[in-house]
């Protein structure tokens, strides 16, 4: 019986090597029958047209992966036998579970990504905050030198700000003066004066009527450096500012109250209106219809949002009010507290398109003392917001009557008020 496959005989074996062979050479690799993939070759020995998108593969006819018929494709040389690219079919290397020889791909390090992101965000935030700080600090107009003020009272607890609204028209065009009804007076005078006390408790805002009767003490001229001896003369408080500016005003307030002033802040007409417009207006509840040709106010009673022009007219109006200057100071307190509250809202602080214009408008228009810093200014604004929040106190300086058109302070009440402010105590004194 013939043990060879069908069609083979002993004659086909040729010279063999190995078991049952007398040949001296080893037999060559046995050629396996191959199964042709794709369409059969056309008659005549020509090759079938290759399928589009299927690359020609080398033949394994000689058992070593080269030579032979070009149309043959065993699929083993590219891994296409399993239908996966790169030969990474099931069981192709690795751990026998279908993974590649390089092992499973490591999972992303989420903790590292979070850490890198947090560091990046923190760095950007620090750079932004630092840049904003130095930009804002450079815009403060530190023009008032309180070191020129002599014979100052001892400082108490907390911080006292003297806040002044001046009628300066500096930098205003003729159109702005007309629109804001400011007139064209030269120089500048104080239109409003307030003391804001901040400390461990609720803030206190005290208006100093411009017609308050005060004594001008001995002082050193802010420009001349000369000493001017006090003669006991009495004037209206706003005359002190007109005579020798902020330094004499601070000296006069300290002399007549005994309260140490830590910082000075002044804003003019144009700057005030610009800040209001920068925050998009300020909502106010107007207590009565107001029409005043001198200030330009033409407002109806009730809640409404005031723009810069309307706000300036509102805080300057006194002739249309029954209490004249005393009623005006109350309106000024209410408005400044509302403005501070508007500036400190998240809608302004967290919105760079509002924050930077507001800061720019405010810082450009403020005049402060040389020791004033941004943190002091922020403390002032937050305290003003506290006044409007209900916890703080707003009042006029206690009055005892008038003499020759000047408003007289109630000396006993003023003394109690000053002592409470010095000790940072709750204010029990009230004013009209």
Confidence bin at 382 (pLDDT 50/70/90): confident
Higher pLDDT, 168 or 415: 415
DSSP one-letter code for 426 = P
Specify the pLDDT at position 250.
Answer: 97
| Residue 177 near residue 183 (C-beta atoms within 8 A) | yes
Confidence bin at 390 (pLDDT 50/70/90): low
Specify the pLDDT at position 83.
Answer: 47
% of the chain at pLDDT higher than 70: 68
Confidence bin at 21 (pLDDT 50/70/90): very low
- In sequence order, which residues have a C-beta less than 8 Å from that of residue 313 and are 6 or more positions away? 180, 181, 292, 295, 296, 297, 298, 299
Round the average pLDDT of the chain to a whole number and report it.
Answer: 77
Joined together, the tokens standing for residue 34 give 């191959």
Higher pLDDT, 89 or 297: 297
Mean pLDDT on 43-66: 50
Q: Work out whether the CA dihedral 233, 239, 243, 249 comes out positive or negative.
A: positive
Cα angle vertex 264, ends 215, 401, to 5°? Answer: 35
Specify the pLDDT at position 254.
Answer: 97
Confidence bin at 57 (pLDDT 50/70/90): low
Could you report the per-residue pLDDT of 109-149, keeping only the tens digit for each? 788 888 888 888 888 878 877 777 777 777 788 999 999 99
| Residue 360 near residue 271 (C-beta atoms within 8 A) | no
Could you report the per-residue pLDDT of 231-286, keeping only the tens digit for each? 999 999 999 999 999 999 999 999 999 999 999 999 887 778 888 888 889 999 99
Task: Determine if the pTM surpasses 0.75.
Answer: no
- Which of 168-177, 309-318, 383-392 is the least confident region? 168-177
Higher pLDDT, 323 or 71: 323
Is pLDDT at 314 greater than 80 in this prediction?
A: yes
Higher pLDDT, 344 or 181: 344
Specify the pLDDT at position 356.
Answer: 76
Is pLDDT at 411 greater than 90 in this prediction?
A: yes
> Among 250, 282, 252, 262, which residue's Cα sits nearest to residue 197?
262
Question: Cα(111)–Cα(117) distance, rounded to whole angstroms?
Answer: 10
Higher pLDDT, 252 or 185: 252
> For the chain, first and last CA: distance in Å?
135
Higher pLDDT, 8 or 263: 263
Confidence bin at 161 (pLDDT 50/70/90): very high
Higher pLDDT, 378 or 221: 221
Question: Cα(407)–Cα(330) distance, rounded to whole angstroms?
Answer: 16
What dihedral angle (degrees, nearest 10) is formed by the CA atoms of 153, 156, 209, 417? -110
Specify the pLDDT at position 206.
Answer: 94
Higher pLDDT, 86 or 106: 106
Question: Cα(316)–Cα(273) distance, rounded to whole angstroms?
Answer: 12
Could you report the per-residue pLDDT of 198-236, keeping only the tens digit for each? 998 889 999 999 999 999 999 999 989 999 999 999 999
Higher pLDDT, 298 or 175: 298
Higher pLDDT, 275 or 83: 275
């Amino acid at each position: 019986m013939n043990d060879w496959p069908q069609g083979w005989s002993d004659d086909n074996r040729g010279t063999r090597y190995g078991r049952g062979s007398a040949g001296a050479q080893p037999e060559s690799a046995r050629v396996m029958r191959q199964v042709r993939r794709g369409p059969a070759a056309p008659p005549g020995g020509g090759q079938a047209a290759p399928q589009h998108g299927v690359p020609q593969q080398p033949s394994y006819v000689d058992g070593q992966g080269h030579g032979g018929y070009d149309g043959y494709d065993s699929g083993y040389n590219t891994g296409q036998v399993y239908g996966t690219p790169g030969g990474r079919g099931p069981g192709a290397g690795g751990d026998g579970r279908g993974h590649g020889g390089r092992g499973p791909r490591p999972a992303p390090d989420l903790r590292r990504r979070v850490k890198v992101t947090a560091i990046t965000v923190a760095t950007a935030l620090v750079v932004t905050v630092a840049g904003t700080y130095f930009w804002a600090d450079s815009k403060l107009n530190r023009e008032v030198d309180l070191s020129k003020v002599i014979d100052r009272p001892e400082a108490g607890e907390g911080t006292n700000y003297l806040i002044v609204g001046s009628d300066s028209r500096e930098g205003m065009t003729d159109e702005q003066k007309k629109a804001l009804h400011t007139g064209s007076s030269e120089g500048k005078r104080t239109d409003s004066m307030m003391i804001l006390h901040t400390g461990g408790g609720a803030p206190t805002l005290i208006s100093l009527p411009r017609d308050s009767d005060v004594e001008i003490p001995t002082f050193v001229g802010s420009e001349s450096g000369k000493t001017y001896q006090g003669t006991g003369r009495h004037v209206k408080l706003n005359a002190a500012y007109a005579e020798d500016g902020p330094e004499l005003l601070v000296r006069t307030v300290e002399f007549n109250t005994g309260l140490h002033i830590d910082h000075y802040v002044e804003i003019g007409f144009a700057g005030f209106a610009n800040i209001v417009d920068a925050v998009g207006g300020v909502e106010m509840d107007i207590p009565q219809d107001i029409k005043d040709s001198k200030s330009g106010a033409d407002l109806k009673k009730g809640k409404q949002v005031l723009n810069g022009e309307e706000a300036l007219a509102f805080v300057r109006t006194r002739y249309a009010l029954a209490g004249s200057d005393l009623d005006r100071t109350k309106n000024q307190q209410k408005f400044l507290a509302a403005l501070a509250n508007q500036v400190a809202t998240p809608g302004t602080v967290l919105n760079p398109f509002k924050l930077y214009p507001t800061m720019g408008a405010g810082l450009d228009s403020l005049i402060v003392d040389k020791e004033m810093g941004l943190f002091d200014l922020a403390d002032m604004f937050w305290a003003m917001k506290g006044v409007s929040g209900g916890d703080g106190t707003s009042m006029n300086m206690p009055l005892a009557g008038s003499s020759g058109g000047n408003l007289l302070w109630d000396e006993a009440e003023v003394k109690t008020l000053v002592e409470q402010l010095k000790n940072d105590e709750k204010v029990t004194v009230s004013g009209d």
